[in-house]
Amino acid sequence: MAKKCIGVLTSGGDCPGLNAVIRGVVKTSNQLGYDCVGFLQGYEGLHDPVRYKTLTPKNTTGILNQGGTILGSTNKGRFAATVGVSDRVEIEPELLAGVQTTVEQLGIEGLVCVGGDGSLAIAQQFHEYGIPVIGVPKTIDNDLSATAFTFGFDSAIECATNALDRLHTTAASHGRIMVLEVMGRHAGWIALHAGIAGGGDVILIPEIPWTWENVCHKILSRESQGKQFTLVVVAEGAMLPGGYSVASEQTGAQAHLGGIGQVVAEEIEHRLHRETRVCVLGHLQRGGAPTTFDRVLATQYGAHAVRLIVEGKLGEMVCYQPPDINSVPITEAVNQLRQVDPDSSAVQAARALGISFGNNTGDASPFTSRVKSRVQVANHDVTSDTAMTLDAAEAALASSL
Ligand code: F6P
């Protein structure tokens, strides 16, 4: 009789730790007597043409600390199940039927789909169709509901923190203002954590509305204390004071965020006549080896995904609910952005240290008793209505001066 089989694929934007999940799935499957196959280029490898490779402990050895994914990945391919962040798009029935056939022909008992919210929305439609899936939450943005951490986030903030450490010394040497633009889509987790860890002075995130006056005030107040340089960390999805995010590109209704760092740097220089430089960290945040935290998390996710298949708990997404690895229905995790709570203890601690979020709370104390929830969850769809291109943002600022 043919051995039982488990499938795995990596989908969407890559991040450090994908290979650690693959290795976790392969080694656990092997221990439990399952064969393992990895589909190539995300969901694309599941159908027309079917592309996969057999995975064994031997051919996956040494990948634990490697960035990227040995299986390749596809962002927004034929299977895309959402537009923007949350609008559902039905996957073509012929595609679903094709995947079902592939799964049956290879005798796959469970397909481990590693991805962010867009990719997990695809897994959810597979589940509704009857294809046996398990989700594993991946993204540097850390914006998925139902899990305290996605793997990839810790590696991204290490990269951004490292960048701030480097910018710190050059900013101090020249007495300059340095603006660091980090990724994160519509959540400010990377900016917040890297900003705290890297000694940022101003942190601008999508969750906290801010003004130019408050940003400039912080820079001037540092100068009055003899500090001639300032580090500003801005999340790519932060909204300009006019309520618009900045997009480098517009594809249909989908805004490709990027460019706000440039706008912020130009405006500070214009208002304060201080030398200001911008650094856009970009895809450096997604490359390189995973941190130890991400290796451990990704490994546990891989092992737990196999456990769920063995126990027949299909349609679930593994999640980290400290101190345990658990699971929730995939549907609970997708289509809801997990954003930073402006009243969270991390934000309060940052304020207590004098970090500015570009807003004036008017509170005498940075500590409030308003800690409502540990996270803020939002249904958030950013389309062309709420994003403007970098050129448009610069033009709008110029005309408002
Ligand atoms: O979701 C991960 C992420 O890196 C975001 O932080 C960023 O906005 C986006 O992907 C970039 O996507 P792409 O790889 O298509 O440039």
Per-residue pLDDT of the chain (401 residues), as tens digits, is 567 999 999 999 999 999 999 999 999 999 999 999 999 999 999 999 999 999 999 999 999 999 999 999 999 899 988 776 667 889 999 999 999 999 999 999 999 999 999 999 999 999 999 999 999 999 999 999 999 999 999 999 999 999 999 999 999 999 999 999 999 999 999 999 999 999 999 999 999 999 999 999 999 999 999 999 999 999 999 999 989 999 988 776 677 999 999 999 999 999 999 999 999 999 999 999 999 999 999 999 999 999 999 999 999 999 999 999 999 999 998 878 999 999 999 999 999 999 999 998 777 788 876 544 444 555 444 444 467 776 776 666 666 54
Q: 316 and 304 in contact (C-beta within 8 Å)? A: no
Distances in Å between the alpha carbon of 222 and those of 111, 192, 201, 258, 340? Answer: 54, 20, 9, 28, 26
User: Cα 336 vs. chain centroid, distance in angstroms?
Assistant: 13
Find out whether 7 is annotated in a ligand binding site. Answer: no
Catalytic residue among 141, 143, 154, 294: 141
Q: Which atom of ligand 1 is nearest to the CA of 75?
A: 15
The reported pLDDT for the residue numbered 335 is 77
Q: Which atom of ligand 1 is nearest to the CA of 237?
A: 8
DSSP state of 378: E
Can you read off the two tokens belonging to residue 221? 């107040």
Query: The domain 5-152+290-334 is classified under which CATH number: 3.40.1210.10, 3.40.50.12780, 3.40.50.450, 1.25.40.80?
Result: 3.40.50.450
Token match 């998390």: residue? 297
Q: How does strand 230-235 pair with strand 108-115?
A: unpaired
Find out whether 183 is annotated in a ligand binding site. Answer: yes
Look at ligand 1, atom 14, and give the residue with the nearest C-alpha: 13
Pocket test for ligand 1, best of 10, 119, 140 (most atoms within 8 A of CB): 140
Ligand 1 centre to CA of 13 (Å) is 6
d(CA 285, CA 306): 29
Domain ranges of the chain: 5-152+290-334, 156-285+340-398
Q: Which atom of ligand 1 is nearest to the CA of 184?
A: 6
Find out whether 84 is annotated in a ligand binding site. Answer: no
Q: Tell me, yes or no, if the two domains 5-152+290-334 and 156-285+340-398 fold the same way.
A: yes
The reported pLDDT for the residue numbered 86 is 66
The reported pLDDT for the residue numbered 401 is 47
Find out whether 139 is annotated in a ligand binding site. Answer: yes
Can you read off the two tokens belonging to residue 231? 């580090």
DSSP per position, 173-203: HHT-EEEEEE--TT--HHHHHHHHHTT-SEE
Pocket test for ligand 1, best of 14, 69, 183, 284 (most atoms within 8 A of CB): 183
Distance separating the N- and C-terminal Cα atoms of the chain: 76
Residues touching ligand 1 (Cβ under 6 Å) are: 13, 75, 116, 139-141, 183-185, 236, 257, 286
Annotation says 141 is catalytic: yes
Find out whether 13 is annotated in a ligand binding site. Answer: yes
Q: The domain 156-285+340-398: what is its CATH number?
A: 3.40.50.460
d(CA 193, CA 161): 8
Q: pLDDT tens, 329-362?
A: 999 988 789 999 999 999 999 999 999 999 987 7
Q: pLDDT tens, 42-51?
A: 999 999 999 9
d(CA 119, CA 125): 10
Q: How does strand 52-54 pair with strand 35-39?
A: antiparallel
Q: pLDDT tens, 271-306?
A: 999 999 999 999 999 999 999 999 999 999 999 999
Ligand 1 centre to CA of 185 (Å) is 7
Ligand 1 centre to CA of 206 (Å) is 16
